[in-house]
C-alpha cells in the first residue's frame, strides 16, 4: 500500500461533520438557538471543518490563536498555521458559554452549531498588514477583513450541512477522505497539487507535466467557493480542464477535483495554507508557480516561493517551485527562465489575466497560448455574456510578447 503523507498536526483527519441522523437532530435543536450569520468565506471554512480539510482545527480561532497566527504563523500551542480562520458578528448580546446556530447569509441554511468559548475584538489593520501585507481595501482579501463584524467568536463547531457542494458538483467535489482513498487505489504515494482558480492555459499544462515527471500523479484542485468579479465560473473551468486532460495528458496521471473555499488572495501566506490543507488531502507536494494566490501588484512574482524558505515548522507537504514559464519561438515549445537562453522578444508570456483580457475583449488569442479544445469552450462562455456581465480586466505588468 502507498505511504501517503499524514494529515497536518494529527494522526487522523478531524472530521467535524455529524452523521445524517445526528445532523438532523442538531438541526432541529438549532432552531431554538441564537443565529449568527456567516459570510461566504466563513461558510467555506465551515465546510472544510466538516470534511477534515482544516485538520487539526476543531473550530474558529480564539484571540490567542488569532494573534499568534497573524504574527508567527502558528497556533498558540506551536502548530503551524499561516492564516486566521475566524467567525465574526456584530451581535452585542452573544455571550461566552452560549450555543449559537451558524446560518449562511445567502441561503438562510443552518450550517453548524457552536458553543462560544470566547468573544473578542481584533485589530483588523494588524491582521491585514501581517497576512496581506497591505491595508488597501482595493485588495479583495483586505476588504473582507475590514468589513467583518466588530467581534470574533471562537469555539468548537458541529457541522450539519455539506453546503450543497456534492449535489452541485457531483464527482468533481471530493473530500480529503475520498482523495486519499483514490490515491491508495491508484498506488500513488507522491502527489503534487495544482491550485487553480482559472482554466488551464499552456503554462499551467507545462507546470503539471513537470510535476508528473517526478511524482506519481497530479491533483488539479480547483476553488469551488466564491471568486472575485471577472473570474471564470467553476463549471466552465471544469469543462475546459477536462478537455485539456482528455486530449493532452497520459491517462490516469491526473485527478481533477475541487474544494469548497473562497480565495483569500493572500499571496505567500495563502500558498502556505494551500500546501497545509493539500497535506490533509494526501498530497506530498504543492506546485508553486508565479504569483501564487496573488492579486494585482501586491506581491512579487516569487514571494510565494521565498516564504517556504522562511518557515521552520511541521508542514510535510513541500513546494515544487517553478520559474516563470512561457512559449519560446526559438525553442519551439514551452520553457522557463531556467531552460530558455533566448531573448524576451522570442517569448510569449502566458497568464490567466491576459487570457481573460483577450477573451473579454473578443481579441484573437495566440495559437500557442491555449489549446484549441480549451479555447473553444472559453470563447463560447464569453460569447454568451452580456456586456453588463463582463468585468474589465486590466493588464498591469502583462505585455503582449
- Picking from 369, 339, 371, the residue whose alpha carbon sits closest to that of residue 351 is 369
Give the domain-ending residue among 133, 163, 193. Answer: 163
The domain that contains 47 carries what CATH number?
3.10.400.10
* Residue at which a domain ends, from 146, 163, 180: 163
Instruction: Yes or no: say if 208 and 201 are a contact pair by the CB < 8 Å rule.
Output: no
Number of domains, the chain:
2
Are 229 and 370 found together in one domain? Answer: yes
The Cα–Cα gap between 365 and 350 comes to 11
Tell me which of 137, 163, 189 is where a domain ends: 163
Is residue 329 domain-resident? yes
Asked if residue 251 belongs to a domain, the reply is: yes
| Annotated catalytic residue within 198, 237, 264, 347 | 198
Beta 318-321 vs 59-60: how paired, if at all?
unpaired
Q: Which residues pair with 219 in a beta bridge?
A: 193, 255
139 domain-assigned: yes
12 is an active site residue = no
In DSSP terms, which residues pair with 37 in a beta bridge? 103
Would you say residue 300 lies in a domain? no
Sign of the dihedral through C-alpha 135, 49, 308, 302: negative
> Is residue 265 in some structural domain?
no
Task: Tell me the residue range of the domain where 58 lies.
Answer: 20-163
* CB of 84 closer than 8 Å to CB of 67: no
On whether both 44 and 108 belong to a single domain, the answer is: yes
277 touches 45 (CB < 8 A):
no
Same domain, 339 and 246: yes
Residue-level pLDDT at 395:
55
Q: Tell me, yes or no, whether 132 and 41 share the same domain.
A: yes
Choosing from 41, 180, 197, 237, the catalytic residue is: 197
pLDDT tens string, the chain, 401 residues long: the values are 569 999 999 999 999 999 999 999 999 999 999 999 999 999 999 999 999 999 999 999 999 999 999 999 999 999 999 999 999 999 999 999 999 999 999 999 999 999 999 999 999 999 999 999 999 999 999 999 999 999 999 999 999 999 999 999 999 999 999 999 999 999 999 999 999 888 899 999 999 999 999 999 999 999 998 867 777 888 899 999 999 999 999 999 999 999 999 999 999 999 999 999 999 999 999 999 989 999 989 999 999 999 999 998 889 999 999 998 999 999 999 999 999 999 999 999 888 778 888 888 888 898 899 999 999 999 999 988 877 666 666 655 443 33
Q: Are residues 231 and 339 in the same domain?
A: yes
Which CATH number goes with the domain that contains 193? 3.40.50.620
Bridge-based pairing of strands 87-89 and 318-321 is unpaired
Distances (CA, A) of 109 to 26, 60, 258: 13, 19, 22
DSSP code string of 133-187: S---TTSHHHHHHHTS-SEEEEEEEEE---TTHHHHHGGGB--HHHHHHHHHHHT
Residue 371 annotated as catalytic: no
Q: Are residues 46 and 78 in the same domain?
A: yes
In this structure, the answer to whether residues 128 and 213 fall within a common structural domain is no
154 & 173 share domain: no
One domain, residues 147 and 172: no
Q: Which of 140, 139, 98 is nearest to 119 (CA)?
A: 98
pTM of the predicted model as reported, rounded to 2 decimal places: 0.94
Q: What is the pLDDT of residue 399?
A: 36
Query: Shortest CA distance to 84 belongs to which of 61, 100, 64, 111?
Result: 61
Domain co-membership, 157 together with 175 = no
Sign of CA dihedral 371, 377, 383, 386: negative
Distance of alpha carbon 135 from alpha carbon 147, whole angstroms: 12
Q: Are residues 229 and 336 in the same domain?
A: yes
d(CA 90, CA 110): 18
**Cell of residue 364, nine digits:** 484573437
List residues bridging with 325 in a β-sheet: 336
Q: Is residue 178 part of a domain?
A: yes
Q: Are residues 222 and 115 in the same domain?
A: no
Residues 6+ apart with CB under 8 A from 310: none
Indicate whether 267 belongs to any domain.
Answer: no
Q: Which three cell numbers stand for residue 231?
A: 473570474
What is the three-class DSSP state of 259? strand
In a domain, 53, yes or no: yes
* Ramachandran bin of 138, using left for φ above 0, alpha for ψ from -120 to 50, beta for the remaining angles: alpha
Amino acid at each position: 500500500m502507498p505511504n501517503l503523507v499524514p494529515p497536518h498536526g494529527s494522526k487522523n483527519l478531524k472530521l467535524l461533520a455529524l452523521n445524517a441522523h445526528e445532523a438532523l437532530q442538531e438541526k432541529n435543536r438549532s432552531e431554538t438557538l441564537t443565529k449568527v450569520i456567516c459570510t461566504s468565506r466563513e461558510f467555506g471554512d465551515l465546510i472544510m471543518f466538516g470534511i477534515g480539510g482544516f485538520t487539526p482545527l476543531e473550530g474558529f480561532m480564539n484571540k490567542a490563536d488569532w494573534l499568534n497566527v497573524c504574527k508567527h504563523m502558528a497556533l498558540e500551542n506551536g502548530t503551524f498555521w499561516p492564516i486566521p480562520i475566524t467567525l465574526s458578528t456584530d451581535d452585542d448580546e452573544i455571550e461566552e458559554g452560549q450555543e449559537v446556530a451558524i446560518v449562511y447569509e445567502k441561503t438562510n441554511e443552518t450550517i453548524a452549531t457552536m458553543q462560544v468559548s470566547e468573544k473578542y475584538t481584533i485589530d483588523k489593520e494588524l491582521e491585514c498588514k501581517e497576512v496581506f501585507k497591505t491595508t488597501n481595501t482595493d485588495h479583495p482579501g483586505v476588504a473582507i477583513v475590514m468589513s467583518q463584524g466588530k467581534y470574533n467568536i471562537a469555539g468548537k463547531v458541529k457541522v450539519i450541512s455539506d453546503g450543497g457542494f456534492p449535489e452541485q458538483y457531483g464527482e468533481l467535489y471530493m473530500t480529503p477522505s475520498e482523495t486519499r482513498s483514490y490515491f491508495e487505489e491508484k498506488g500513488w504515494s507522491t502527489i503534487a497539487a495544482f491550485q487553480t482558480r482559472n482554466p488551464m492555459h499552456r503554462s499551467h499544462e507545462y507546470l503539471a507535466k513537470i510535476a508528473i515527471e517526478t511524482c506519481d500523479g497530479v491533483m488539479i484542485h480547483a476553488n469551488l467557493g466564491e471568486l472575485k468579479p471577472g473570474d471564470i465560473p467553476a463549471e466552465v473551468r471544469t469543462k475546459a480542464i477536462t478537455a485539456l486532460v482528455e486530449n493532452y495528458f497520459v491517462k490516469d496521471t491526473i485527478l481533477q477535483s475541487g474544494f469548497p473555499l473562497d480565495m483569500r488572495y493572500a499571496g505567500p501566506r495563502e500558498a502556505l495554507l494551500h500546501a497545509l490543507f493539500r497535506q490533509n488531502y494526501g498530497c506530498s507536494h504543492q506546485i508553486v508557480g508565479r504569483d501564487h494566490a496573488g492579486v494585482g501588484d501586491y506581491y512579487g512574482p516569487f514571494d510565494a516561493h521565498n516564504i517556504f524558505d522562511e518557515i521552520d515548522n511541521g508542514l510535510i507537504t513541500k513546494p515544487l517551485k517553478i520559474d516563470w514559464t512561457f512559449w519560446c519561438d526559438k525553442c519551439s515549445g514551452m520553457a522557463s527562465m531556467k531552460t530558455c537562453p533566448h531573448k524576451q522578444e522570442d517569448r510569449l508570456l502566458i497568464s490567466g489575466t491576459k487570457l481573460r483580457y483577450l477573451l473579454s475583449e473578443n481579441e484573437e488569442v495566440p495559437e500557442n497560448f491555449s489549446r484549441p479544445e480549451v479555447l473553444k469552450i472559453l470563447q463560447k462562455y464569453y460569447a454568451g455574456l452580456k456586456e453588463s456581465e463582463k468585468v474589465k480586466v486590466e493588464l498591469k505588468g502583462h505585455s503582449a510578447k
